[in-house]
Amino acid sequence: MDKGLLKLIGQRYWKFLALIAVLVIGAYVIEGSNSVKYWKFENNYLQTKEAEDDFVENYASADPEQEHYEYYNRVTKKYEKTTNFEVYRQDRLNYFNEDDTYYGLYTYGSSFYQENTFYFFVIAAVVGFLLFFFDMKSHFNTLLFSSQYSRPKIYWSKYLVVGGSLLLSVLLGKLYVLLTIKSGIPSEYFNGEMSLLVTSVLAGTCVIGLVFLISSFAGLILGEWVTGVLTLFGFFSSLLIFLSAIAELEEVFKYYVLGYALTEDYSRVLSDHLFVAGLNNRAIPTSSFLVYLLIALVLLISGQKLFAKVTLENNNKYLVFANLRRPTLIIFMLYCTILVAGFGSSYHLYAEHEVFNFWGWLLKIILAGIVSYLIGSLTIYRQLKIGRKRIFSIK
């Protein structure tokens, strides 16, 4: 990388990046400190006579109708009920939650720490979207293009300075949370493996990095403020539903075509393994990191090729690149159709007295295709065509 170019980009962004670092690291510092504080508050309460009396009243009274406290016993590997307050206290103070699932012991998040995923995703999305979009609107790209630096160097230098600063802030913040919790929670209650927790830190950083990359790619190809922001918001808002739709379609296919048995945990596996947030004391498959890498490479390499061809000709249109209009419309239609086709499609497999209505399902798909075509055409082309005939246009 050219040191002069890195210095130029750094001088333009340093105040913005400093603010982002404060917002990101500061939020993690607060979250980590609060987590230990919440645990200590719970620990102090469970040492009191009041807590023991509450336990007896709720779980250990002489009432035969009363439900006893249920917990997962790691020794017997079974769910057990107890009227022993010490067992109850130990289970309540274990830092990570545990659940016995179809896939084995599932040790996941904590009642004492919930990462504000939405907050960090918004920061990553805003920083990513503005990376190319704002420089195009403010004509900073024009200045860079007229300089001695090549477009590939400009492209990668932006990612190195801005993306590197963001991901470093996220990584440092997540590591601070982990170290704060490890040092602040007594070892007998810290039921987590450091190797798995560090892996979840890396995976969580990768996910935020992907949000940044997707948003920066959108900022590169989109040319309008309002429709650009709405497009990005709509995509991220529906992404988890889209992944659930894919999982449901796969489950229906495996049940009817391949004859697989049903598993209640199936639908959560895809999104849980790909979208890691906070600290997770569970094994994250290598395939997840390979998916992260594949998506990142596709976005980065495609973005570099597009950045080399960017012009001001379509700067104020929905898409900066005219040759992306048709592919974008097709992708939008497929996305919407899969989302509608898959969402709720496996419900009848679990609900009693529910029958799969094939024709109703097919009608939903057709309607989704038509509506997505109308919305996509009006947004991308600013007109509606049937064949070669223009039916409607927006000026």
Q: Which two tokens stand for residue 5?
A: 């170019």
How does pLDDT run across 332-368, given as a tens digit for each residue?
A: 999 999 999 888 777 666 666 667 777 888 898 999 9
> How wide is the angle at C-alpha 224 spanned by C-alphas 216 and 374, nearest 5°?
105
Buried b (16+ CB within 10 A) or exposed e, 349-379: eeeeeeeeeeeeeeebeeebbeebbeebbeb
Whether residue 178 has pLDDT greater than 60: yes
What average pLDDT does range 40-47 have in this prediction? 94
CB of 281 closer than 8 Å to CB of 199: no
Whether residue 312 has pLDDT greater than 90: no
All residues at 6 or more sequence positions from 90 whose CB lies less than 8 Å from its CB, including other chains? 189
How does pLDDT run across 246-288, given as a tens digit for each residue?
A: 888 877 777 776 666 655 544 444 566 667 777 877 778 888 8
User: For the chain, what is the mean pLDDT?
Assistant: 85
Sorting pLDDT into bands at 50, 70 and 90, what band is 385? low
Cα-trace Rg, the chain? 26
Give the total residue count for the chain.
395
Sorting pLDDT into bands at 50, 70 and 90, what band is 105? very low
CB of 355 closer than 8 Å to CB of 387: no
**pTM of the predicted protein model:** 0.87
- Please list the residues that pair with 64 across neighbouring strands: none
**Kind of pairing between the strands at 104-110 and 96-101:** antiparallel
| Between 316 and 102, the higher pLDDT residue | 316
* pLDDT at res. 247: 80
Percentage above 70 pLDDT, the chain = 86
Dihedral sign (CA 331, 337, 340, 346):
negative
**Distance separating alpha carbons of residues 55 and 85, to the nearest angstrom:** 7
Taking each helix axis as running N to C, give the angle between helix 117-137 and helix 164-184, from 0 to 180 degrees, rounded to the nearest 10. Answer: 170
Whether residue 72 has pLDDT greater than 50: yes
Which of 125-134, 190-199, 203-212, 377-386 bottoms out in mean pLDDT, i.e. has the lowest? 377-386
Whether residue 303 has pLDDT greater than 70: yes
| Between 240 and 261, the higher pLDDT residue | 240
**Distance separating alpha carbons of residues 376 and 385, to the nearest angstrom:** 12
* pLDDT at res. 216: 96
Q: Which two tokens stand for residue 223?
A: 């040319």
* pLDDT at res. 44: 95
Whether residue 163 has pLDDT greater than 60: yes
The domain locations on the chain are 1-223+258-311
* pLDDT at res. 103: 42
What average pLDDT does range 170-194 have in this prediction? 93
Q: Which two tokens stand for residue 16?
A: 């913005």
